[in-house]
């Protein structure tokens, strides 16, 4: 029996005039790019094309001439603008015919909703001659796979919540059986508290060495306010050897970056801090000025966070710092609102008043106005009260939103470090 | 003198293997799609192609054969992977040569930074025969425009902060002079408090009529939690007529949608509420339970918000509702935390304790746990105290993040409506 040739290369075609308009982006290809990489299939090109029959046929025909696998997303709806079925059939010179089984499924879907099937929806039951149709549990349009012997053409619906489950359930098994044998594996190392260049300085000598190894490891560095992450990946037929090298590379990076690493399992900083608070049965409260509730919002974004978050005070006005947190008016007058003394008083005040184990105080200049030579925009004082009180001054770069995100992340990191040590009971 | 032919159609090619990897997306094409639409140039296709010489040459050659304008982004760096200059030159059969003026600019850039120019950077001074080079104030690589008579090929750098200013300063004037004369104009109508289908029911008869007019207006509806917006646009050579039709369409929609419309000038809901509070010299405070600080964070995201935000209390735990807001323990016991009585007590408590003009109370079940038959996930009570106290029960759809966003938006909308009337002084 002949063995089907291996699938090594791919192109993706996103179909729909709306994807050429402003403010719309093809996100399906991100999902597909990642899955193809895992399968060891090289994505050569991505295209976006509008609902024009000739444009669409040309794009499909050109791609089929170049690569082993062509995936289309979109254009499977019931209207005259949905042209993908017709275009693929025309390019392959195959007929398109209503499949009675698919028609029954489409009709049943309308019946369940208690509405008669519009006649246009018959189009969605049209299957390309020789194609296998793919069930769509989350929508009307089935997908299709055409195997020409040396090429696979896969037609998927456009909505991500229909496309993704269909791809995973019906397409991945086909591709896995036909992929070349190289598999991709990954590791992620997330750090906080270091800048991108500080992380690079420590990490680069390590990952450069692994990049030059027998099983080469590719490393990319991604930075956002308060987070620098290293993505390690490699592709090999010998998966055990690959996993071993990735484990060694990851372990060396973790050892070199030390305390800056907060996770190797893709959790967010707030998830890690929440889990550490929960493990120690500690309750946290925060007093926020310049971050205006952002730290509490991030902490309470985690489901189940009521097990470790009591709440807090957004003390945007100085009067609120005095009344709700007990910050001394003399302290505010002597040091100004953005000062170590006020940050400490806020952290200790919210801890005491709310009866928390850990109190956080954040006060700073988020800008764009309000900066001075002594306290420029980006200056933030953060204090964490957990028995002892620690305070630190930061100068964050960027705009208002970035400074606020940096400050919330820095506060989470200070909490993470503070609760590493034993936390005594608060004075309630 | 021959008049250069009009530019009517375009394709965009994003160059770089990194854009084919997971988690990376070509955002340059969004910016360019919008600018091309404004210029009345039809974007026919978008492509992403890796750093492979043959792939890149093919993609460029095919596009040049199809459309009047081909724009590339990326691949203008100094390394061997930066192939766009070579590929365009090869496709056009033109030479590539170092331009002494560009070389001097590139060298000067290094000199200013006090580092010697690496010899590889000479590549960035290579200009295609007959091309005009475009200055890059924000980076090393200049852009290039090749005019073949009936085609324009524009080479732009990949980083958005280099590409965007270069496009606006050096390419838009060229295209404006060569565009077909049709210009695009837009209007935006933003609503809150209505679902997408409620907005559609009211708006669809109006915009359908304008879609069928002599100067047809295209309408798209975009929905996110708490926000449904209508984008109107049209393209015409007679800009005055177009502006007039857009004004009429926008005014009819605003009249029909009534109080749900909060802006026609693209401001956010929190900006509108902030401006209305500031205009009335009112200070706001919020008591948040299920939103966990999100409302205060959104209010304080606006620069200058200290003029209308006092702050508030994130009362995640019931003890904080009692201690910091004065919610009665009997009220909590009798009605539960998610109840009209508690929302009212939170709004009134935070208004009184912080001395605010307007107090907001939010309490609900954001999920995924904590729902019951009587109070399912998505149930949220919101109260606004501004002299009188108004309270309302909502049942929001979606996941935890969506429910929280819906609740914060609904609270902002209730504040917007409450302060439309006269607000008496609070009991301080």
| Contacting residues of B for A47, CB less than 8 Å apart | 45-48
Q: What is the pLDDT at residue A27? A: 81
Tell me: the pLDDT tens digits for B292-335? 999 999 999 999 999 999 999 999 999 999 999 999 999 999 99
Q: How many alpha carbons fall within 13 Å on the CB side of residue A182?
A: 15
Residue A16 forms part of a structural domain:
yes
Same domain, A247 and A276: no
SS3 A74: coil
Quick one: pLDDT band at residue B421, thresholds 50, 70, 90? very low
**Is residue B169 within 8 Å of residue B154, measured between CB atoms?**
no
Same domain, B403 and B331: yes
| Residue after which a domain boundary falls, among B263, B295, B313 | B263
Bridge partners of A314?
Answer: A288, B312
Could B306 and A319 be called an inter-chain contact, meaning their C-beta atoms sit closer than 8 Å?
A: no
Residue A131 forms part of a structural domain:
yes
CA distance B361 to B351: 9
- Contact B314/A at CB under 8 A: yes
Chain B 255-284, residues with CB within 8 Å of chain A CB atoms: 283
Same domain, A140 and A67: yes
Tell which phi-psi region holds residue B172, choosing left (phi > 0), alpha (psi between -120 and 50) or beta.
Answer: alpha
DSSP per residue over A201-257, as a string? Answer: HHHHHHHHHHHTSSS--EEEEEEETTEEEEEEEEEES-HHHHHHHHHHHHHHHHHHH
Closest residue by Cα to residue B56 from A58, A69, A44 = A44
- For residue A428, pLDDT over 80 is answered with no
Range with the lowest mean pLDDT among A113-122, A239-248, B263-272?
A: A113-122
Spell A102-136 as b/e; 16+ CB within 10 A means b: bbebbeebeeeeeeebeeebebbbbbbeebebbeb
Cβ neighbours, 10 Å, residue B26:
25
Q: What is the pLDDT at residue B423? A: 44
Could you tell me which residues come within 8 angstroms of residue A250 by beta carbon, excluding any fewer than 6 positions away?
A: A187, A189, A232, A264
Tell me: the pLDDT tens digits for B201-230? 999 999 999 999 999 998 888 888 899 999
Tell me: the pLDDT tens digits for B331-352? 999 999 999 999 999 999 999 9
CATH number of the domain enclosing B99: 3.40.980.10
Quick one: pLDDT band at residue B22, thresholds 50, 70, 90? low
Quick one: pLDDT band at residue B250, thresholds 50, 70, 90? very high
**Is residue A187 within 8 Å of residue A264, measured between CB atoms?**
yes
Q: What is the pLDDT at residue B40? A: 84
CATH number of the domain enclosing A280: 3.90.950.20
Residue A279 forms part of a structural domain:
yes
Residue B3 forms part of a structural domain:
no
CA distance B73 to B160: 9
CA distance A211 to A174: 31
Residue A408 forms part of a structural domain:
yes
- Residue B90 to chain A, least CA–CA distance (Å): 20
Q: Strands, DSSP E only, in A50-171? A: 69-73, 96-98, 126-128, 132-134, 143-147, 152-156
Same domain, A248 and A102: no
Same domain, B334 and B306: yes
Same domain, A392 and A346: yes
Residue of B nearest to A26 (CA): B25
Tell me: the pLDDT tens digits for A31-81? 999 899 888 898 999 999 988 899 999 999 999 999 999 999 999 988 888
| Residue after which a domain boundary falls, among A203, A231, A263 | A263
Question: Which two structure tokens, joined as six digits, stand for B119?
Answer: 């010899």
CATH number of the domain enclosing A192: 3.30.70.600
Cβ neighbours, 10 Å, residue B149:
8
Phi, psi of B403 (to 5 degrees): -60, -40
pLDDT averaged over every residue in chain B: 91
Question: Which two structure tokens, joined as six digits, stand for A119?
Answer: 């006649």
Residue B426 forms part of a structural domain:
no
SS3 A196: helix
CA distance B142 to A244: 44
Tell me: the pLDDT tens digits for A225-257? 899 999 898 888 898 999 999 999 999 999 999
Chain B 39-68, residues with CB within 8 Å of chain A CB atoms: 43-50, 52, 55, 59, 62
For chain B, what is the domain count? 3
Tell me: the pLDDT tens digits for B33-71? 989 988 889 899 999 998 899 999 999 999 999 999 999
Could you tell me which residues come within 8 angstroms of residue B410 by beta carbon, excluding any fewer than 6 positions away?
A: B192, B193, B226, B380, B382, B392, B394, B396
- Contact A300/B at CB under 8 A: yes
Tell me: the pLDDT tens digits for B77-92? 888 888 999 999 999 9
Residue tagged 């496009």 (tokens): B167
Residue A424 forms part of a structural domain:
no
**Is residue A410 within 8 Å of residue A336, measured between CB atoms?**
no
Same domain, A285 and A359: yes
| Contacting residues of A for B49, CB less than 8 Å apart | 44-45
Same domain, A196 and A300: no
Q: In what order do the strands lie in the sheet with A218-224?
A: A218-224, A227-236, A183-191, A261-263
CA distance B107 to A226: 35
Same domain, A38 and A170: yes
Same domain, B112 and B242: no
- For residue A426, pLDDT over 50 is answered with no
Q: For helices B318-325 and B340-354, what crossing angle results, to 10°?
A: 40
| CB neighbour class for B242 (10 Å; exposed up to 12, middle 13-18, buried from 19) | buried
Tell me: the pLDDT tens digits for A88-109? 999 999 999 999 999 999 898 8
Bridge partners of B98?
Answer: B126
- Contact A309/B at CB under 8 A: yes
Q: What is the pLDDT at residue B2? A: 53
SS3 A12: strand
Same domain, B274 and B332: yes
Residue of B nearest to A67 (CA): B55
Residue B424 forms part of a structural domain:
no
Closest residue by Cα to residue A140 from A118, A107, A115, A112 = A107
Same domain, A174 and A187: no
Q: In what order do the strands lie in the sheet with B261-263?
A: B218-224, B227-236, B183-191, B261-263
Instruction: Count contacts between A and B (CB, < 8 Å).
Output: 198
Bridge partners of A155?
Answer: A72, A144
- For residue A425, pLDDT over 60 is answered with no
Quick one: pLDDT band at residue A23, thresholds 50, 70, 90? low
Residue tagged 């699938």 (tokens): A7
- Contact A358/B at CB under 8 A: no
Quick one: pLDDT band at residue A422, thresholds 50, 70, 90? very low
Closest residue by Cα to residue A216 from A228, A203, A207, A225 = A207
- For residue B271, pLDDT over 60 is answered with yes
The number of angstroms, rounded, from the C-alpha of B328 to the middle of its chain's C-alpha atoms is: 43
pLDDT averaged over every residue in chain A: 91
**Is residue B41 within 8 Å of residue B179, measured between CB atoms?**
yes
| Contacting residues of B for A50, CB less than 8 Å apart | 44-45
CA distance A195 to A188: 17
Could A292 and B301 be called an inter-chain contact, meaning their C-beta atoms sit closer than 8 Å?
A: yes
What separation in angstroms does the CA of A378 have from each of A158, A407, B101? 43, 9, 40
Print the domain residue range for A56: 9-178
- For residue B364, pLDDT over 90 is answered with yes
| Backbone Cα Rg of chain B | 28
- Give the 3-state DSSP-derived string for chain B, with helices as H, strands as E and coil as C: CCCCCCECEEEEEEECHHHHCCCCCCCHHHHHHHHHHHCCCEEEEEEEECCCHHHHHHHHHHHHHHCCEEEEECCCCCCCCCCHHHHHHHHHCCCEEECHHHHHHHHHHHHHCCCCCCHHHHHHHEEECCCEEECCCCCCCCEEEEECCCCEEEEECCCHHHHHHHHHHHHHHHHHHHECCCEEEEEEEEECCCCHHHHHHHHHHHHHHHHCCCCCCEEEEEEECCEEEEEEEEEECCHHHHHHHHHHHHHHHHHHHHHHEEECCCCCHHHHHHHHHHHCCCCEEEEECCCCCHHHHHHHCCCCHHHCEEEEEEECCHHHHHHHHCCCHHHHHHHCCCCHHHHHHHHHHHHHHHCCCEEEEEEECCCCCCCCCCCCCCEEEEEEEECEEEEEEEECCCCHHHHHHHHHHHHHHHHHHHCCCCCCCCCC
- In this structure, is the dihedral angle defined by the CA atoms of residues A203, A208, A211 and A213, taken in order, positive or negative? negative
- Contact A9/B at CB under 8 A: no
Could B301 and A62 be called an inter-chain contact, meaning their C-beta atoms sit closer than 8 Å?
A: no
Tell me: the pLDDT tens digits for B369-381? 999 999 999 999 9
Tell me: the pLDDT tens digits for A151-179? 999 999 998 889 999 999 999 999 988 87
SS3 A398: coil
- Contact B363/A at CB under 8 A: no
| Residue after which a domain boundary falls, among B216, B236, B263 | B263
- Contact B401/A at CB under 8 A: yes
Residues B123-143, mean pLDDT to the nearest whole number = 93
More confident residue, A1 or A7: A7
């Amino acid at each position: 029996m002949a063995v089907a040739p291996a699938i090594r290369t791919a192109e993706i075609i996103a179909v729909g005039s709306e994807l050429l308009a402003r403010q719309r982006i093809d996100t399906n290809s991100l999902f597909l790019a990642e899955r193809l990489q895992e399968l060891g299939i090289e994505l050569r090109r991505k295209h976006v094309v509008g609902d024009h029959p000739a444009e669409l046929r040309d794009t499909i025909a050109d791609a089929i001439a170049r690569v082993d696998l062509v995936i289309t997303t979109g254009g499977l709806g019931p209207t005259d603008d949905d042209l993908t079925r017709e275009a693929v059939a025309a390019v392959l010179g195959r007929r398109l015919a209503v499949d009675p089984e698919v028609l029954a499924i489409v009709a049943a879907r309308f019946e369940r909703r208690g509405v008669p099937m519009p006649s246009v929806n018959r189009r969605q039951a049209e299957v390309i001659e020789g194609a296998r149709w793919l069930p769509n549990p989350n929508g009307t349009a089935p997908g299709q796979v055409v195997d020409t012997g040396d090429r696979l053409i896969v037609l998927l619906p456009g909505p991500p919540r229909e496309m993704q489950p269909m791809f995973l359930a019906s397409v991945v098994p086909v591709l896995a059986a036909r992929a070349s044998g190289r598999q991709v594996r990954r590791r992620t190392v997330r750090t906080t508290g270091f800048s991108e260049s500080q992380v690079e300085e420590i990490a680069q000598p390590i990952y450069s060495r692994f990049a030059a190894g027998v099983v080469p490891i590719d490393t990319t560095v991604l930075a956002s306010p308060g987070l620098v992450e290293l993505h390690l990946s490699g592709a090999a037929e010998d998966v055990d050897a690959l996993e071993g090298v990735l484990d060694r590379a990851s372990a060396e990076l973790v050892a070199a970056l030390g305390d800056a690493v907060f996770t190797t399992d893709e959790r967010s900083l707030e998830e890690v801090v929440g889990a550490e608070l929960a493990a120690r049965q500690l309750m946290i409260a925060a007093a926020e000025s310049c971050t205006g509730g952002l730290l509490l919002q991030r902490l309470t974004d985690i489901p189940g966070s009521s097990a470790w978050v009591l709440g807090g005070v957004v003390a945007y006005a100085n009067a609120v710092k005095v009344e709700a947190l007990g910050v001394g008016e003399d302290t505010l007058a002597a040091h100004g609102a953005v000062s170590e003394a006020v940050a400490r008083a806020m952290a200790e005040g919210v801890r005491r008043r709310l009866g928390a184990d850990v109190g956080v105080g954040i006060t700073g200049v988020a800008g764009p106005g309000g900066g001075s030579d002594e306290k420029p925009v980006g200056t933030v004082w953060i204090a964490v009260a957990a028995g002892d009180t620690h305070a630190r001054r930061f100068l964050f770069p960027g705009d208002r939103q970035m400074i606020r995100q940096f400050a919330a992340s820095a506060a989470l990191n200070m909490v993470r470090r503070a609760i590493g040590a034993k936390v005594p009971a608060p004075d309630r």
